[in-house]
Amino acid sequence: MSSTLHDLALFPGDLAPARSFFVGIDSDGCVFDTMELKQRTCFCPNFIDSFGLQAVSGYAREAWEFVNLHSRTRGCNRYEAVLRTLELLREHPGIKSSPVALPKLAGLATWLQHEPSPGLTTLRAELDRTGSAELELVYLWSIAVDEAIGKSAGIVPPFPLVRESLEAMRGSADIMVISQTPSETLRRDWAQHGLDGLVRHIAGQEAGTKSGQLRLATEGMYCPDRILMIGDAPGDLEAARRNKALFYPIQPGNEVESWRRFHDEALDRFFEGSFTMKYQEMLLEEFSVQYPSARPV
C-alpha cells in the first residue's frame, strides 16, 4: 500500500510523535474476548445464509472457523476471509460430491487485488462501478454481519490488566489501535469501556492493512526497538516484522496470563530496552505452534 494524503486523513489528528515509544495494539481477540462471539454468531451464520450454503452448513462452518479462528489467517480482513473459505470449501471432498454450487466471486478477487483498503465504503464504490450481482451478495452479507455485531456491541469487557497496561504505557508511548474491524465498531467498543481516551488513534479496516497502518504511523519517526505491536494473530506478527518492530503475542485461550505477563514483565522490558529478540522468540515459540497454515477441512 502506498502512503497518500488520503490514507493519512483516515488517522485523526497529527501523526507526529508526542512520545519516544510507540505501541500498536489489535482489538478483537487481543483487548476484547470477541473473536468466538463475532465469528460464530455474526460472521458465519450470515456467510452460510448469504452464499446459499445451507445444504453444506457443517462444512461451511468448519472452514469458516478454521480460516478465522484456528489458522494463520485469524484476524484477516473479512473479504479476504470469504475468498479463503470458499477456496477451502472447493477442495473439500464432501462439497465436490454435493450438488451445491459455490459462488466464484471473481469480481471480489479482482477488487481485493487492487484495493488497498477493503471496507464497506470502497466495496460500495466497486459495486456501483461494476453492477456485479456477486459483489452485491458480498455487500449485503457485510451489512448483515455489521447489524448482527451491532446487537452485541460493547457487551464483552476488556481482558483483565488491559486498562492498567494502557494506563502504565500512555505516559511514555504513543498508543494506536491497529485493526481490521470497521472503525465505527472499534470506536464504539473502546468508548463503551472507557478505553478510547487512553489511546492516541483508532484505525480500522478503512485505513488499510495492519502492516500499512503501522508503517504510516511509525516509519522514520521512532527507533525500531521502541516500536511494539501487541496482537493475537499471525497477521499482527507479520505487520510487526514488515516494519521491523517488536511483537508481543496475546495467546488465544491464554489471554489472561498473556496480559498478566505483559503488565508485570514485558512492558518494563520494552521501556528499559531489554525486550530483546531472544525474549521475543521465547514468547513466539508457544504462539507459532497454535497456527497451522493449512489442513484438510
- Residues at the interface with Mg ion (CB under 5 A): 26, 28-30, 75, 232-233
- C-beta of 30 vs 195, nearer to Mg ion: 30
CA distances from 214 to 67, 93, 109, 156, 255 (A): 23, 40, 25, 26, 23
CB of 115 to Mg ion, least distance (A): 21
- C-beta of 75 vs 212, nearer to Mg ion: 75
CB of 68 to Mg ion, least distance (A): 10
- C-beta of 29 vs 212, nearer to Mg ion: 29
Secondary structure class of 244 (helix, strand, coil)? coil
- C-beta of 75 vs 119, nearer to Mg ion: 75
How deeply is 10 buried, as exposed, middle or buried, from its count of CB atoms within 10 A (0-12, 13-18, 19+)?
Answer: middle
The DSSP 8-state label assigned to residue 55 in this structure reads: G
- C-beta of 26 vs 80, nearer to Mg ion: 26
Question: What's the CA angle centered on 216, arms 214 and 217, to 5 degrees?
Answer: 65
CB of 27 to Mg ion, least distance (A): 7
- C-beta of 7 vs 26, nearer to Mg ion: 26
Q: What is the CA radius of gyration of the chain?
A: 19
CB of 252 to Mg ion, least distance (A): 9
Helices (H) and strands (E) in the chain, counts: 16, 5
- C-beta of 19 vs 187, nearer to Mg ion: 187
Q: Which residue is nearest to Mg ion (CB)?
A: 29
Cβ distance 224 to 245 under 8 Å? yes
CB of 287 to Mg ion, least distance (A): 13
Q: What are φ and ψ of residue 223, in 5° steps?
A: -65, 140
Side-chain-facing half-sphere of 265: CA atoms under 13 Å: 10
CB of 251 to Mg ion, least distance (A): 12
Grid coordinates belonging to 89: 470449501
Grid coordinates belonging to 93: 471432498
CB of 181 to Mg ion, least distance (A): 9
CB of 122 to Mg ion, least distance (A): 21
Letter for the amino acid at 237?
L
The residues, any chain, with a CB within 8 Å of residue 51's CB and separated by 6 or more, are 82, 86, 102, 103, 137, 141
- C-beta of 27 vs 132, nearer to Mg ion: 27
DSSP for 102-124?
Answer: ----HHHHHHHHH-SS-SHHHHH
